Amino acid sequence: MAGGIWDYENATGYATGVDLTGYRVEAADGRIGRVDAHSEEVGDAYLVVDTGLWIFGRTVIVPAGTVNRIDHEDRSVWLDLTTEQVKASPEFDPAAHEDAHGHRRTVGAYYQDIV
Name the residue among 25, 8, 10, 30 with its Cα closest to residue 84: 30
With a CB cutoff of 8 Å and minimum separation 6, the contacts of 62 are 25, 46, 47, 48, 49, 79, 81, 86, 89, 111
Q: Once rounded to an integer, what is the mean pLDDT over residues 53-71?
A: 85
Residue type, 111: Y
Q: How far apart are CA 50 and CA 29, in angstroms?
A: 17
Nearest residue to 83 via CA among 114, 46, 108: 114
| pLDDT tops 60 at residue 1 | no
pTM of the entire structure?
0.86
pLDDT, tens digit, for every residue of 79-113? 999 998 998 888 887 766 555 566 677 888 888 87
Query: pLDDT tens across 3-17, in order?
Result: 589 999 889 999 999
What lies within 8 Å, CB to CB, of 13 at 6+ separation is 69, 70, 71, 72
CATH class, 24-114 region: mainly beta
